[in-house]
Amino acid sequence: MTNSSRAACQPTLPISWCWATGKELFKWSSGDFLPKKKMRLGQVPVYGGNGINGYHDTSIADFETFVIGRVGAHCGNIHIVIPPAWITDNAIYATYVPSLIHLRFVVLALSNLNLNIESQGGAQPFINQKALNSISLPIAPLDEQKRIVSKIEELFSYLDAGVATLKRVKENLKRYRVSILKAAVEGKLTEKWRSENPVKEPAPKLLERILTERRKKWEENYLAECKAKNRKPPKDWKKKYKEPAQPDTSNLPELPDGWCWATAEQLSYESMNGFGKRRQEKGKPVIVLRLADILDGKVSYNDTRKINALDSEISKFRLTPNDILVLRVNGSADLVGRMVTFENEDTEPVLYCDHFIRLKFRFPEIANWLRLYADSKTVRDYIYHKKISSAGQNTVSQTTISSLAVPLPPIDEISAIVETYDQQFYSTKAYSAILQKSTLKASSLRQSILKRAFEGKLVPQEPDDEPASILLERIKAEREAAKPKKKPTKKKPRKPRKKREKAK
């Protein structure tokens, strides 16, 4: 916003107030370069655009002042500086602040301006001293400044207490969700359900059925592959089937009656990395899901991309409902290994890129169960110790996912667990949304308080207060008096010119 446009939208101030520019009030300077490795152990705080970011043994500011973030993400941020202090070149600071103005009042007034809108540049915003000199600040009489600061701090303290309470409730909800999930995967969530519902098919029998279906699916795929290649299956082709690895239960906890342990490989009939091409001329354009398309544990179609794929590639990498996508590689150790269920039933094909592993299941209940179990602390700890980290990326392999030991309940109990968990989870999510809305409201109230304060509407004006216009004249006089006086320069006596002798 330019200074002229800002002036056009300035509110009308009380009669005892006036406007003053940054140039009329302050003198500015950029801080000095001081990288982390050059900081020497000491007790002098080092201020940058984000406040204190270290300590040093030397100061450059031995007076109370404030810093303003000069560049980057912290551009326009404001922090009060308690002397002695070092200020880095990522910030601009006031080398002169009038003694006739309340420092906290000035900082709050600048905060109300949202100085980041004064920033320039594109990807790397910055603010300079010229921009700071041109801003206009509403100035109240000095006694009123003190009353305003006191009232703002009082109201902010109430807001801070409320926000702190909201944060505590959020953390409690987070812990509660973790405890619900733990109870779900350990069978404690359905203890009463088990007592009221006799087991129809124990988990060991269910696992046998899953393994039978798994082999059957492999045989179907093998025969389809032979047919596509126009050849007959070889003799004893069924012996090519590789049985999935069983879990090592020696160190696994005891499970409720009717449950058993299985591996993710036993429960799924296919595990495959995704489509690796980023572009090609042949084929037809289809959606290929990326890591960026996973938001809040679900697939988002807001900003998908399309890549040309051949019919054979579409057939191989096409997702179907109840497929599970495992985040195979990610810069975040907390996200790698997370699982997402694909639920889209549209006829348009959707593929997945090679940053994912796809797991396919014969039974949707098993897919839902593995997806739920994948968020438990047990699995997250397993992924953390099995992942490989290199060049800022974390990776899990198909082998790691296939070897994951999974507690398997009877299929009826899986449905009961998922339903009970979802009910409790979504109720906590609704509370979280309410808390988030209240937090945003508190932030909005903070801005409203500042707005009213610097329109002169937060505290009443007192007729005996010295008008700000007179205060500004006194500040001007103070600045003039603070200027170093120039020493008069002594003029050297001019040497007399030598007279030229006339030629005879």
What's phi and psi for 70, nearest 5 deg? -95, -30
> What one-character-per-residue DSSP string does 204-248 give?
HHHHHHHHHHHHHHHHHHHHHHHHHTT-PPPTTGGGGPPPPPPP-
Taking residues 355-382, report their average pLDDT.
96
What pLDDT score was predicted for residue 354? 96
Distance CA 15, CA 233 (A): 96
Q: At what angle do helices 411-453 and 103-112 cross, to 10 degrees?
A: 120
Q: How confident is the model at residue 399 (pLDDT cuts 50, 70, 90)?
A: very high
Q: Answer whether residue 8 shows pLDDT above 60.
A: no
CB 325 within 8 A of CB 272: no
What is the average pLDDT across 135-154? 96
If you average pLDDT over every residue of the chain, what do you get? 92
- The average pLDDT across 165-192 equals 95
Structure-model confidence comparison of residues 429 and 309, the more confident one: 309
Backbone φ and ψ for 201, nearest 5 degrees, come out as -140, 100
**Span 361-370, mean pLDDT?**
96
Residue-level pLDDT at 5: 45
Question: Which pLDDT does position 345 carry in this prediction?
Answer: 74
What is the distance between the alpha carbons of residues 119 and 470, in angstroms, rounded to a whole number? 32
Q: What is the mean pLDDT of residues 239-264?
A: 95
φ/ψ (deg, to 5) at 158: -65, -45
pLDDT of residue 411: 96
| Architecture of domain 3-139+475-482 in this structure | Alpha-Beta Complex (3.90)
Mean pLDDT of 204-209: 97
Report helix angle 377-386 to 142-186, nearest 10: 90
In this prediction, residue 347 carries a pLDDT of: 80
Binned at pLDDT 50, 70 and 90, residue 120 comes out as low
pLDDT tens string 46-103: 999 999 999 999 999 999 999 999 988 889 999 999 999 999 999 999 999 999 999 9
Q: In this predicted structure, what is the pLDDT of residue 1?
A: 45
Other beta carbons within 10 angstroms of residue 412's beta carbon come to 19
How far apart CA 267 and CA 259 sit, in angstroms, is 14
Q: What is the pLDDT of residue 119?
A: 61
- The alpha carbons of the chain give a radius of gyration, in whole angstroms, of 35
> Which residue matches tokens 């701090």?
153
298-299 vs 324-327, strand pairing mode:
unpaired
pLDDT tens digit string along 316-328?
999 999 999 999 9
Instruction: Write out pLDDT tens, residues 451-482.
Output: 999 999 999 999 999 999 999 999 999 988 87
Provide the terminal-to-terminal Cα distance of the chain, rounded to the nearest Å: 79
Whether residue 84 is preceded by a cis peptide bond, meaning omega within 30 degrees of 0, is yes
Flag whether pLDDT at 495 surpasses 80: no
Check whether 379 has a pLDDT greater than 50: yes
Would you state the pLDDT for residue 491?
A: 64
pTM above the 0.85 mark? no
As a whole number, mean pLDDT of residues 96-125 equals 85
Contact 99, 57 (CB under 8 A): no
Calpha distance 279→449 (Å, rounded): 53
Q: Which helix (H) or strand (E) holds 129?
A: helix 129-134
In this structure, which CATH number among 3.40.50.2300, 3.90.220.20, 3.20.20.140, 3.40.50.920 belongs to the domain 231-409? 3.90.220.20
With a cut of 50, say whether residue 3 has pLDDT above it: no
Contacts of 380 (CB under 8 A, 6+ apart): 334, 337
pLDDT at 376: 96
Report pLDDT digits (tens) over 212-247.
999 999 999 999 999 988 999 999 999 999 999 999
pLDDT over 70, % of the chain: 93
Q: Where are the beta strands (DSSP E) in 244-299?
A: 260-263, 270-273, 284-289, 294-295, 298-299
Q: At what angle do helices 411-453 and 364-373 cross, to 10 degrees?
A: 50
Domain boundary assignment for the chain: 3-139+475-482, 231-409
Per-residue pLDDT, 501? 58
**Percent of residues, the chain, with pLDDT higher than 90:** 85
- Are 364 and 370 a contacting pair, CB within 8 Å? no
Nearest-angstrom CA–CA distance, 126 and 40: 28
pLDDT for residue 115: 86
More confident residue, 122 or 387: 387
Same fold: 3-139+475-482 with 231-409: yes
| pLDDT tens digits for range 329-340 | 999 999 999 999
Q: Is the peptide bond before 467 cis (omega within 30 degrees of 0)?
A: no
Instruction: List the structure tokens of 167.
Output: 């944060």
